[in-house]
Amino acid sequence: MNAEEILDAAAGLFAEHGVNAVGMGEVAKAAGCSRATLYRYFADRHELHLAFVRREARRIGALLPTDDVVEAVLAAVREVRARPELIAWFGAADAGTAAELAQSDAVVGGLGDEETARWLVRVVVSLLIVPGRDEAEERAMVERFVLPGVLPPVPGAGR
């Protein structure tokens, strides 16, 4: 038994029951380990959640284009929506937990430039919690409101 196997077991439970409805005892049972083993890897439920979000943020980050901010944001949103264990974090009962953890240094710190990463994660979380009518509307919002905040300023522009 290792931490990855425990996180995999937790993922299935998150998809089935929601994030905050899953207790440590249920995770231990699903992982096929004792609670003592579970607590050797994760001191409490918050630490388990943080490890899960950090792992999934890195997995998604590795799939994203690095040269196109708009496509990266929209691809991240699509990836989360396509995976039941991830979209479970953005339902009414769990969105607050997701938003809090997504902005943690442990998650954002591993995603590149911290300030830009923090802003882009916030945008992705926002689109997941309060989606646009369709992908075209979300694309338009990202192009109009997010892209200008991420691109470096053009020298002499706006003067």
In 3D space, the residue among 44, 76, 70, 73 whose CA is nearest the CA of residue 58 turns out to be: 76
Long-range contacts of 19-24 (CB under 8 A, 24+ apart): 19/49, 19/88, 19/89, 19/93, 19/94, 19/97, 19/98, 20/93, 20/94, 20/97, 21/93, 24/48
**pLDDT value for 157:** 56
- Give me the pLDDT at residue 114, please: 80
pLDDT (tens, 9 = 90+) of the chain, 159 residues, equals 899 999 999 999 999 999 999 999 999 999 999 999 999 999 999 999 999 999 998 899 899 888 899 999 999 999 999 999 999 999 999 999 998 888 888 778 766 778 888 888 899 999 999 999 999 999 999 999 999 888 766 676 554
Pairwise CA distance, residues 27 & 6, whole Å? 7
Q: In the prediction, which pLDDT does 158 show?
A: 56
